Structure formats: C-alpha cells, structure tokens
Structure 1
C-alpha cells in the first residue's frame, strides 16, 4: 500500500520540483534599472539582443529599453493588476498584457504573424524587445513618428496606432506625463550607453585577458 502511495505522488513531486527549477532559472530584473550600462553589465546577453533589434528594425537601443522599463520594470512575467469587485472578489485583469513588453495578445499575435516569429514568447527578453522594435518601426511607417522620438513612440505604444492618430492622448494628462518620463529616461540611457558600449561589444575572450 505504501509503495502505491509513493508511486502516486512521484509524478506530482517531479512536477513541483520542475516548476521550482524553472522559476529559479527566470532572469531577475536588473539591480539598477536607472543605468543602462549596469543593466547590460548584469545581463550582457540583453545588450546583444538589443543590438540585433537596432540592426534589424533601425531602432536606437535606448528607446525600446526605456519603453520596456516603463511597461514592466524588466520583469519577465509582469501582468496588469487584478481588478476587484467590492474590494475582495477578483474579476479579471484590466487587459491581456503580459511579459517584458506588456504586449496585449491581439497585438502580439499580429507581430508573430508579420515578423514570422511563431516561436516567440512574451516572457523571453529577446522576443519582447524584438516586438518593441517591430512596433516602433510600424509606428514610423503608419504615423510618421521618428524612431528616435521616445515620447511620441510611447504614446503610440500605449494608445495604439489608431488612437495616436486620433489624438486620444490629448485627454489623458497622466499619459502625457508618463510619455515625458519615458523620453527623459531614454535620453539618459542614450547618454550612458555612449560611455560603455565599446566595452559591451567586446567578447568574453577579450574580457578574460584584458577586462
């Protein structure tokens, strides 16, 4: 009887252990998100992913990084807060936004199809920053917004291309303030990156002998 019980719980134990291991492997947010050099020094693979997005979509690194900071604080599994009825009955989240980029399901599906990235995941940094690069590129094509204009790009990102074109943000003072913060952070990131990008470009072998 004891052996049957053990056999019954063995798959459950393995599943729990596997889930714990996967959670432990999740990339933690940077310790200092206000300094892009420290972000990339801590997660050097993030720099290479951001550089690929720059080369692919023509998007300067500091713009998608600032948008991502605003959306998720670099948390891989970020979600909108739960809504509560009468203060204690949960009835769903405000939207389907999820992951590093807080991409909504409908927009993510559009990206997956247009960019031919059917394997992409919203909780993967490389995929999420590629999504933002795609969005910024499309904002330029549809609404004529410069890829270097973090302020207007964030308004597109939040309101959608149609909402931005209609000027929906004009009635949202809080959103305009947030977009200004995104722009200010992007400019700070750009300035910081000038001082460390040459080092970030160097491979591990160079750093091993000369770093």
Structure 2
C-alpha cells in the first residue's frame, strides 16, 4: 500500500456554464500542451487542475487551456493591398490580428460545449466549431495521470529522490535550484503511457505496426 499525498495549487480561472467548465492557466509566455510531455510526466499541472476542478464542481469539462499574458506587439502593418486598391489598416483590423495571436492554447474535451460560440478565441477549432484532429479523451488522461502519480508516489516512498532536472524551466520559484538545468533535457517516462492508444483515443501507429508483424 502506498501512503497518501496531498497536492495543493491555485487554478487561475474557471469559466462556467450550467453544464460545463473550462480551465484556464495564465502564463508569462506562450505555452502549449504537449502529448509527449503529459504522457512522460513532465507537464502535469493543467490536466491535474482540470480533473480536480471537474470532480469538485461536478460539471463536464469543455477544455483546459493556457493564456499567455506576454504583451506581444502586433506587427506594424500600414495597409491592406488588393489587386485594384490599397486600404489603410484600422483599429478593428489590428484587434482581429491581436486576438489571432493570443488565442487560448490547449486541449478541447467536448466539441459540443456551449462555451464555444466562436472559433476566433481558441486554437484548434474550425469555423464550424469542430475540433481539428479530434477532442482529447478525459478518461484516458485521467488513467495516464493516475499511472504517473502512482509511480511518483512509489518512488518517493522508496526514498528515490534523485535529481532529474528539466531543461529550460522557470527561474523565479523557490525550487529553481533543484529543477533548473542547462543541458540534456529530462527523458519522459515513455514506459508509463498506454501503448495502444493516444490521449485522443486514436490507435498508435507503432501498435498497428506491431500487430501487422
């Protein structure tokens, strides 16, 4: 039996309707969820927030996203050039360009959520609000995080506290001396991922190749 462990954190923002919730994590730079990093145990925060919030609030998860607070400048464009005319760029054009550069970046779990009334604010949505590449399966993500946290808890309970740093981590938290590393990046825990399907529920290519052989 493994000992219990408590995890604490603060969710930056929860958007809520009568049926759905959406988790948003503010970042100081542009960031995107990575299948490889989530499966490898490197990127756990946002998905953990999403699962805990859904459990506590007891509503469906529509998605979990990063929102960059980096004040990126809009490229200076003076005119729109057409074949037969040149038009000045107005404030509405600049606003559209800024919104395009600052869309929410992350994973969508439910394509019919009422939180999505436009594709202009979230990456990965088509004009008809379909999800490019398919939605992510929250049950598969929950299974993956359970395997990862079980592994981490077992390692800690066995006294395995070796330093396994990650490349290019933050420089401002109290643990920066432990996790920051300049050199070879930490290798993901590939052995803990589901060998059959991806987090979107799609059959893995290597699993298909193995069956063919």
TM > 0.5 between the two? Answer: no
Please classify the TM superposition score into its range, dividing by the shorter chain length. Answer: 0.3 to 0.5
Which structure has more helix as a fraction of its residues?
A: 1
Please give the TM-score of this superposition, normalised by the length of structure 2.
0.36
Using structure 1 for the length normalisation, give the TM-score: 0.36
